[in-house]
Amino acid sequence: MTLNLGYFQGIESSTTEWKTLSFDRGRGAIEVAVPVLSETQLKSLCTRVKKMSQTYLKTIPVSDLVNIIDTTISSFLDRTNPYRQQAEDLLPRITGYDPEMIRLGLTSYLKTFRKVELNRFLSEDFSNPKILDEFQPLPKGGLGRAYGPDLLFHIWAGNVPGLPIWSLVSGLLVKAGNIGKVSSAEPLMASLFSKLLAEIDPKLGECIAIVWWEGGQNKWEEVLLKQADLVLAYGNNDTLRQIRNRTPITTRCLTYGHKISFGMISRSALDTGKSWTTAHQAAYDIVRYDQQGCYSPQIFFVEEGGAVSPEQFAQFLARELENFENKFPSRSLTIEEASSVASWRQSEELKAFSEEKRAFLADPNGRWSVSYSETAGEIYPSGLNRTIQVFAVGSLREVPSIVKPYKAFLQTVGIAASPEELIQLASQLGAIGVTRISALEHMTTPEAGWHHDGRFNLLDLVTVTEVERTAETAAEAFSDYVD
Amino acid sequence: MKFNKQIVLVTGSSRGIGAAIAKAFAAEGATVIINYIKNSAAAIETAEKCKELGGSAKIIQADVSSGEQIQKLIDEILQDFSKIDILVNNAFKPYIFDSENRKQFHETSWNDYQEQLDGVLFSSYTLCQTILPIFKKRTKGNIINIASDLVARPTIPYHDYMTAKAALIGFSRNLAMEVGQFGIRVNCVAPGLVYPTDGSMNTKEGLKELIINQTPLRRIAAPEDVAGPVLFLASSWSGFITGQTLYIDGGLVMR
């Protein structure tokens, strides 16, 4: 029996068209059905979600929302819960990722949305989160209240399990009505999350809808782009440019494009005691979701002068990628993915033959590869799917100037270095547009409240209505109690 | 095809380590007897895989904690195949390895020890008693017992279970000493943490990382890792090796 995904209220399932998506990523073939609403149905859904957002969502305190989301997340963290079990069963079959990776990844990611963490999201952006509930004093004087959009249109992409939950939770916290278009590669988690949330609070469930249409089919997108107050889109730069161009000028469009993230390893992390652990942590960030996240490392810069040389580090890394095949076996790749890996490998292997000071370490079965070089010239993306470049540098301070030309694409840097080095590097990296610095093994597990691409999860979604001091002062004159 | 036409009994081989061993023998042409207690679906699946790999397989249900069922098991094998070449004592009374909720010594009764001695030793003892006359008639035979590296280094002390496994090693050495003159070899393999198996399903990540950090080969064993050494000890390549315990734990323990 084909599982119906997506989620919406107020439209008869029987009058809806459904499209079957088939997946066969080597872990058991599966088919799911996603809803393809007509333009009329979508318009009516927009109206409905907006109305519920205005009449219900905007009237309940943020702390209630936090509790509802927390209850939903607690269910997903409970491995005996049927929704969690469905996710653990289906995500490997849909995405191809190893079941262990999914199991551990889900728990690690969903912990970010427990109550304590949701309060972190709020405090990070609002010094006084009550500003989302009612007018509050502003630091500059006067009063302000933050209003989320009546309709926030999300466009999700890629196959990192649960990615949509980040922006969906952000939308809910600012009391936005949410309609999200899932990616064909991972249509499951947004659907399950919304369904469970709606079971816990049916009226909140009416403020969300999860839909789908074929990529490149503009007519449905037009409906949402016209109806939404705010658009939030993930994807590659071409797609994002098109979306932004088709969004009305009066509607804000927030975009999250592809990024290159990388790691930096100081000689202080390369003594004979700690160097293996450093390689182990670096490898973990590479294998988690096969580098499909914007925060996944594609390059490691390794400093010379430690007890363990950069070349030896590259060898440790290669061994660790092989060891991770035991813990998290590689998924089978699509033709496009395999081709991208193959051409990158070929190119790197050729360089290793023809150029000096290079080495190429690879799994004969093609599941991972490490390209090592002692001359960090131009940088470029890796082939993804467990392909990594390791550059030896005389000093980590050389790195910012090497990566500077790619400022628009930089995001996360994983650093293994001493505290003094960390701060010094952070200021260099911040100056060239890096927006997140983490430890190794944590590049791919951002914390609650993370400023995604340096932006503000919640603040970016709201408008503030301010009552100026002048208005307050003027009103005093008209009160009953004027002497 | 190193084990072409050989009859190999692997107790408790419907899944986990036992199934991995069975499949490895089948891939080398053996006829594997897949003994199971409850999970016939898993046993059938393993048997199918064995056939796909180029060997043959027969599933026989028998609880090897019962002397009677052991006799029936051996009788059925002899009836079908007239011989047994190799015995792998893999089945054990189900034991959950839970480092966070294990019984401490003061909570472990003598009965707990007794149960594990019965569960681990009794079936090995009875199977050996039943099979040895068959081996002796052909002055040829091979017994491999599955012990544990926790005997040499109790990373987590599972008192009752590991005491029984330690006894199994002593049992194997003494038996090796006596039956060597009949041309019969007796050896043990001692895996460390093997994941995933029924017993290790709930092992926490922290413990795995702790073990990995201390393991020269920097990973945890998969069931398939246990198969190779078992096949080595069952083959003529180890023809002059008996009474030994081969540690399969990536070098965590070095004996």
Angle, helices A99-110/A82-95, rounded to nearest 10 degrees:
130
Residues A158 and A129 in one domain: yes
Residues A87 and A195 in one domain: yes
Residues A234 and A87 in one domain: yes
In a domain, A178, yes or no: yes
Give the integer Cα–Cα distance in Å for B143 and B117: 19
* Domain residue extents for chain B: 7-248
Please give the torsion angle defined by the CA atoms of residues B228, B231, B236 and B237, in that order, rounded to the nearest 10 degrees: 10
CA A468, chain centre distance (Å): 37
Q: Is there a contact between A271 and A279 (Cβ–Cβ < 8 Å)?
A: no
Residues A306 and A416 in one domain: yes
In a domain, A457, yes or no: yes
Q: Which CATH architecture is the domain B7-248 placed in?
A: 3-Layer(aba) Sandwich (3.40)
Residues A251 and A291 in one domain: no
Tally of residues, chain A: 483
Q: Which pTM was predicted?
A: 0.92
Residues A237 and A267 in one domain: no
Instruction: Verify whether the Cβ–Cβ distance B213 to A327 is below 8 Å.
Output: no
Residues A221 and A310 in one domain: no
In a domain, A447, yes or no: no
pLDDT of residue A215: 83
Q: Is there a contact between B224 and B24 (Cβ–Cβ < 8 Å)?
A: yes
How close A323 comes to chain B (CA, Å)?
Answer: 6
In a domain, A54, yes or no: yes
Model confidence at A240, in pLDDT bands (50, 70, 90)? very high
Taking CA–CA distances from B218, the nearest residue in chain A reads A323
In a domain, A421, yes or no: yes
In a domain, A446, yes or no: no
Instruction: Verify whether the Cβ–Cβ distance A280 to B205 is below 8 Å.
Output: no
pLDDT of residue A101: 97
CATH number of the domain that residue A217 is part of? 3.40.605.10
How close B174 comes to chain A (CA, Å)?
Answer: 37
Q: Give per-residue pLDDT as tens, B50-85.
A: 999 999 999 999 999 999 999 999 999 999 999 999
pLDDT of residue A237: 93
pLDDT of residue A359: 95
CATH number of the domain that residue A264 is part of? 3.40.309.10
Residues A251 and A332 in one domain: no
Residues A179 and A68 in one domain: yes
Residues A207 and A308 in one domain: no
Q: Which of B155, B234, B238, B139 is nearest to B192 (CA)?
A: B155
> What is the edge-to-edge ordering of all strands in the sheet holding A252-256?
A208-211, A178-181, A152-155, A230-234, A252-256
Give me the mean pLDDT over the A139-162 stretch: 96
What is chain A's mean pLDDT, rounded?
Answer: 96
In a domain, A483, yes or no: no
Q: Give per-residue pLDDT as tens, A290-306.
A: 999 999 999 999 999 99
Instruction: Verify whether the Cβ–Cβ distance A323 to B222 is below 8 Å.
Output: no
Model confidence at A123, in pLDDT bands (50, 70, 90)? very high
In a domain, A202, yes or no: yes
Residues A247 and A269 in one domain: no
pLDDT of residue B78: 97
Model confidence at A218, in pLDDT bands (50, 70, 90)? confident
Chain A residues within 8 Å of chain B (Cβ atoms): 104, 276-277, 280, 319-320, 323, 326-327
Test mutation, A79, A80, A326, A441, chain B, max B CBs within 10 A: A326
Instruction: Verify whether the Cβ–Cβ distance B218 to A326 is below 8 Å.
Output: no
Taking CA–CA distances from B208, the nearest residue in chain A reads A327
Instruction: Verify whether the Cβ–Cβ distance B213 to A104 is below 8 Å.
Output: no
Q: Which of B36, B158, B161, B247 is catalytic?
A: B161
pLDDT of residue A30: 95
Residues A232 and A338 in one domain: no
The structural domain count of chain A equals 2
Measured between beta carbons, the chain B residues lying within 8 angstroms of A319 are 218
**Domain hosting residue A385, numbered range:** 260-438
Measured between beta carbons, the chain B residues lying within 8 angstroms of A280 are 212, 218
Considering only the beta carbons, identify the residue of B205, B213, B222 that sits closest to A326.
B222
Instruction: Verify whether the Cβ–Cβ distance B218 to A280 is below 8 Å.
Output: yes
- B95: annotated active-site residue: no
